[in-house]
Amino acid sequence: MSICSVPRPIEDRVAIVTGGASGIGAATVQELSELGAKVACVDLVQPPDTPAAGAYECDVTDREAVEATIAQVSSSLGPPDIMVMCAGATGPAPLAEFPDDLWRKIHSVNVDGTFYFVRGVLKGMTERRYGRIVLISSGAGVRPSKGTAGYASSKAAVIGLAKLTALEAAEYGVTCNAIAPGLVATPMSMGFYGGDMDELRKVATTTLVANAMKAVLEPVDIASVIGFLCHPAARYITGQTFHINGGSLMP
């Protein structure tokens, strides 16, 4: 049967999406909702309208808050079948001058928060012998740019965690994959590179992250791949890193 012939292939699956209020996270909430999932949108602040089945405020760096949020989602919507980690943080500085507080902030969001959520949902998924976990890394985790020590190292760690999770969960029917986006038009990218689409278009054609298609990707370009990885047809895809970047990085 064709993938396209199943309009709502994850009907009633419970999904948690962190960073779901904007950017790739918001697009993922929309994508998974359209595929039939009951989506919990998790973020520090919530948008005024969202297709999510529930909105939950949570600081992903707070272990107790993460555990409480997973418990709330399980109580309200059901135990999570899908976990997508889109919450992220960045900040530029030369390595020799990289501030301790910025390093801790980036790693606490990108690495600790990912670890807390994956650990928090994994036991239940393995017991039910079903789960889809997707972690958002970055092309910077494979090919860093100068001044991104905190971000690049944290995103490399996310790829490692995805592989380890895939390895330990495989026998239980749980998959885990990483997405490594290139340049995407998100609030975080705009803040990092200067704040508007014109600047992002220059970045897409003249810098280390320039891509062969000369494109600034949209959040939906990432969310559509996340949706596929949560689809039943992707049940044997695990431990992989998907580079979605218009041809800027071809590992």
What span, in angstroms and rounded, lies between the C-alpha atoms of 194 and 6?
41
- Per the residue annotation, which of 151, 172, 193, 236 is the catalytic one? 151
What span, in angstroms and rounded, lies between the C-alpha atoms of 238 and 147?
31
**Residue-by-residue DSSP string for 50-102:** -S-SEEEE--TT-HHHHHHHHHHHHHHT-S-SEEEE-------B-GGG--HHH
Whether the Cβ atoms of residue 186 and residue 247 lie closer than 8 Å to each other: no
Query: What size, in residues, is the chain?
Result: 251
Identify whether 116 is a catalytic site residue.
no
Q: Which residue has the tokens 């003249």?
A: 206
Strands 14-18 and 174-181: unpaired
Q: Which residues are catalytic?
A: 151
